[in-house]
Each structure stands twice: as structure tokens, then as C-alpha cells.
Amino acid sequence: MIIERRVSGLLIVATLGAALFLALLPLPDALSAVRPAIYPATVLFWVLMQPMSFGLIAAWCCGILIDVIYGTPFGEHGLAMAVAGYAVIRLRDLLWTFPVWQQSVLLLPVFILYEFVLFWIDGVAGAEVNQWWRWLPVLTTTVIWPFWASLLERIAEFEVG
């Protein structure tokens, strides 16, 4: 497990850059509705794996970056990432006792919490909110979590040694 070893900041930035690229990649409208939240999943992976070097402030900064790119109300994704990151840190000891596919089930409420914070802020800000389609990425993110987390863990193990 890479939890015992510290990975380089360059690796974290590279994986976040790759996830951001995947998040911004244009998709057809039919697939866009079910696009997994790959960038938040990557941020939460690093919060889970490296909470001392990549914690709540880093998660908040990553969320602010998404706010700037998407043009959403400033701090919306930052708050959602920080709240979800806090939940991951609180669940961290429990998450390590399960295999990665069961972690995805335990992380489902965290992904729901992340999306709920966005939903709530959009509602308060008066943005048009599609109540049903907005929850599909929660399900697809939960489904891809075992594969994405395993890939990121293998990359980190390769880098660490």
C-alpha cells in the first residue's frame, strides 16, 4: 500500500491534470449526462491516500480551479470538495479495511454528498437545476471507482518504487 510512503507532488499534479483533461473532454450529449466525476474522484483518492500532504486545503484549491474553469459560482466546487474530503478523512480507517470494490459502496454517500452540495448551491444561486439527470454521475463514479483507484494506486506504486 502506498499509504505508508509519500508520493511526489509531481505525480499528484500529473494525475490531477489527466483527470481534468478527461473531465473537460467533449462528449456527445447522451454520454455527457452520465460522465463520471473523474476529477473529484481523483482528488478524493489523493485525500484518502495522502491526507498529510494532500488534505482539505488541497481539495478546496482543486475545487476552486474547477469553479474558475466552469465559470460556476466561486467556491461552489471548492466547498463541495472540502466537505467530501472531510468525509473521506473521517471514513479513512474504515475504508482501508475493505477491498477497493467495497470502498466504492462506502464512498457512494460521499459522492452523493459532493453532488448534493453542488445541487444546493445551484438552487440557492438560482441556477437552472435538472434534478434527475444530475445524479447519474454519482452512480457512474461509484461504478468506475474500483478501476480508477486501482489504476492510480498502480501508478503511485510504480513511482514510489
The tens digit of pLDDT for each residue in 63-104 reads 999 999 999 999 999 999 999 999 999 999 999 889 999 999
Cβ-proximal residues to 117 (8 Å cutoff; 6+ apart), any chain: 76, 79, 80, 83, 84
Q: Grid coordinates standing for 120?
A: 444546493
CB of 156 closer than 8 Å to CB of 7:
yes
pTM: 0.94
Q: Is residue 11 part of a domain?
A: yes
The CATH number covering residue 91 comes to: 1.10.1760
For the four alpha carbons of 85, 89, 90 and 93, in that order, the dihedral sign comes to: positive
Report the C-alpha gap between 110 and 102 in whole angstroms.
14
CB of 22 closer than 8 Å to CB of 69:
no
pLDDT value of residue 2: 47
Q: Is residue 120 part of a domain?
A: yes
Report the C-alpha gap between 161 and 132 in whole angstroms.
44
Which run of H or of E encompasses 1? Answer: none
Q: Is residue 1 part of a domain?
A: no
Q: Is residue 73 part of a domain?
A: yes
Kindly report the number of other CB atoms within 10 A of residue 114's CB atom: 29
pLDDT value of residue 3: 57
CB of 63 closer than 8 Å to CB of 72:
no
For the four alpha carbons of 13, 17, 23 and 24, in that order, the dihedral sign comes to: positive
The domain of 133 spans 7-160
Q: Spell out the per-residue pLDDT of the chain, length 161, in tens.
A: 445 678 889 999 999 999 999 999 999 988 988 999 999 999 999 999 999 889 999 999 999 999 999 999 999 999 999 999 999 999 999 998 899 999 999 999 999 999 999 999 998 998 887 777 889 999 999 999 999 999 999 999 887 76
Report the C-alpha gap between 45 and 83 in whole angstroms.
14
- How many domains are there within the chain? 1
Apex 127 CA angle, 28 and 70, nearest 5: 50
